[in-house]
């Protein structure tokens, strides 16, 4: 028993006091089922010496007046144990485990195994609950359609659901991968440790590991906004005027971000300097676009941004990623508008703003024949465009349709 207690403490993280309590609880459970009650039994476990004893306590009653054999013993039977027992005294008789019988022993074994498993689950839950938000390295064990199973160094199962994987993630059995401990669920008594590679915390912790100034407390990360596998924006602040927070995080020629970008499957990372001035923060968040003015509605957490026509597509970004990430970073809904100046046609749209819908080389061909805006193209004859631009008829028709939809 001494060896068993030591083994459980080392391998199962269950201390001796807890295991003693579980042993006693399991024996009391079996005794209660066998005799109807465990109140008159003493169970003694001594982990230091390895002793284990059970005593059955009964009260001595006159011969022929025993009403409950579990709690009472006749005088003549008591005197067979000790010849000086008198009526009303308590007899403590040691119970031999062989008296339990095979069925009771099997029940005891099952109960004990079940309780130990519960303790292991509780220990695992508490161990990982305290580590939520921490980055962990684990070995890929098996991959399914909806999730990937990983194993930590102690052989504990960790789950990486498909929705928490970066687009482009591909895992091979036996390789080591990194993820953040997103949450620990306790369903059905068995803890489920859920990992994530898409959570903002994953990127934040990796940046903290790469930048010594963050570890030293000279730079702090205020907010991380991510569209996993595509792009991310990080707002940082320096507490030392001599340190450029953006430069420190990016490193020489992007050296400090290079490994992180590789780990995130090519996710582009923009680092901006944090400020409490919301208008300035929005301006920085929309980088690389140059912002003319910002109007903020603090009550509704909305902002309207004016930019030159050639800056609108930069502010919006491919597929709207830039403005979406900027909104996530500052916590405001950002609406982008063209600043055309006085006397300009505020209904017209620069061709440069259609780069998401029309290939850039097609726009270049239209510019070569003098077109700068959508209305320039729509106001021209179709045959003239086909004749003068180096474009197929089908391409011209598709361009006209796209430009027309902008005004409809």
Does residue 333 sit within a domain? no
The angle subtended at Cα 7 by Cα 1 and Cα 108, nearest 5°, is 55
**CATH code (residue 38):** 3.30.1480
- Note whether 141 and 109 are same-domain residues: no
Q: Which domain holds residue 55?
A: 2-126
One domain for residues 355 and 372: yes
Strands 302-307 and 176-187 turn out to be unpaired
Evaluate whether residue 54 is within a structural domain.
yes
CATH of the domain at 147: 2.40.50.140
What pLDDT shows up at residue 346? 55
| Interatomic CA distance for residues 121 and 186, integer angstroms | 9
17 & 91 share domain? yes
Report the number of distinct structural domains present in the chain. Answer: 4
Q: Are residues 253 and 358 in the same domain?
A: no
Residue 297 lies in a domain: no
Q: Which CATH number characterizes residue 256's domain?
A: 3.30.300.20
Based on the fold, state whether residues 61 and 121 are members of the same structural domain. yes
**Distances, alpha carbon 391 to alpha carbons 49, 283, 384, 386, 397, in Å:** 94, 38, 11, 6, 10
Q: Is residue 37 part of a domain?
A: yes
Q: What is the pLDDT of residues 342-373, one digit of tens each?
A: 544 556 777 877 877 888 888 888 888 888 88
Which of 179, 197, 215 corresponds to the end of one domain?
197
Note whether 115 and 54 are same-domain residues. Answer: yes
Q: Which tokens in the block code for residue 268?
A: 């582009």
Shared domain for 141 and 242, answered yes or no, is no
Which residues on adjacent β-strands are paired with residue 157? Answer: 151
Mean pLDDT by 10 residues, the chain (408 residues): 74 76 85 83 81 86 86 88 87 82 86 84 87 92 93 91 92 93 86 94 93 92 94 93 92 91 92 94 92 91 88 84 94 86 61 81 86 84 84 89 81
Residue 350's DSSP bridge partners are 373
Q: Determine, yes or no, domain membership for 31.
A: yes
Does 45 share its domain with 116? yes
Query: Are 6 and 121 members of one domain?
Result: yes
Give yes or no: residues 39 and 152 share one domain: no
Residues 166 and 226 occupy one common structural domain = no
Claim to verify: residue 114 and residue 15 sit in the same structural domain: yes
Asked which of 68, 98, 126 is the last residue of a domain, the reply is 126
Whether 177 contacts 151, CB under 8 Å: no
pLDDT (tens digit, 9 = 90+) per residue, 12-53?
677 777 888 888 888 888 888 887 888 888 888 887 777 788
The residue among 102, 126, 150 that closes a domain is 126
| CB-CB contact of 334 with 286 (8 Å) | yes
- How far apart, in whole angstroms, are the C-alpha atoms of residue 165 and residue 170? 9
């Amino acid at each position: 028993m001494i060896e068993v207690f030591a083994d459980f403490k080392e391998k199962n993280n269950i201390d001796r006091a807890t295991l003693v309590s579980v042993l006693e609880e399991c024996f009391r459970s079996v005794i209660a089922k066998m005799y109807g009650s465990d109140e008159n039994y003493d169970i003694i476990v001594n982990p230091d010496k390895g002793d284990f004893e059970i005593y059955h306590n009964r009260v001595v009653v006159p011969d022929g007046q025993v009403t409950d054999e579990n709690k009472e013993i006749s005088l003549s039977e008591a005197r067979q144990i000790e010849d000086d027992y008198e009526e009303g005294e308590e007899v403590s008789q040691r119970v031999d485990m062989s008296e339990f019988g095979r069925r009771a022993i099997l029940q005891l074994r099952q109960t004990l195994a079940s309780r130990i498993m519960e303790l292991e689950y509780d220990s695992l839950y508490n161990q990982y609950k305290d580590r939520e938000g921490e980055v962990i390295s684990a070995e890929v064990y098996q991959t399914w359609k909806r999730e990937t199973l990983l194993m930590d160094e102690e052989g504990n199962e960790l789950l990486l659901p498909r929705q928490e994987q970066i687009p482009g993630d591909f895992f091979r059995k036996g390789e080591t991968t990194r993820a953040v401990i997103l949450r620990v669920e306790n369903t059905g008594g068995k803890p489920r440790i859920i990992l994530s590679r898409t959570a903002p915390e994953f990127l934040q912790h990796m940046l903290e590991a790469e930048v010594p100034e963050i570890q030293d407390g000279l730079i702090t990360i205020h907010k991380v906004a991510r569209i996993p596998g595509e792009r991310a924006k990080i707002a940082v602040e320096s507490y030392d005027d001599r340190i450029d927070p953006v430069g420190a995080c990016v490193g020489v020629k992007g050296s400090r971000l290079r490994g992180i970008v590789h780990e995130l499957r090519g996710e582009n990372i923009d680092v901006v300097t944090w400020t409490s001035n919301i208008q300035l923060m929005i301006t920085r968040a929309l980088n690389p676009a140059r912002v003319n003015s910002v109007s903020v509605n603090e009550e509704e957490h909305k902002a309207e941004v004016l930019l030159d026509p050639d800056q609108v597509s930069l502010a919006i970004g491919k597929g709207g990623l830039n403005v979406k990430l900027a909104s996530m970073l500052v916590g405001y809904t950002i609406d982008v508008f063209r600043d055309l100046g006085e006397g300009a046609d505020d209904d017209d749209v620069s061709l440069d703003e259609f780069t998401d819908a029309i290939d850039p080389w097609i726009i270049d061909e239209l510019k070569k024949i003098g077109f700068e805006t959508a209305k320039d193209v729509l106001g021209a004859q179709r045959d003239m465009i086909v004749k003068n631009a180096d474009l197929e008829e089908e391409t011209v028709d598709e361009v006209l349709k796209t430009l027309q939809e902008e005004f409809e």
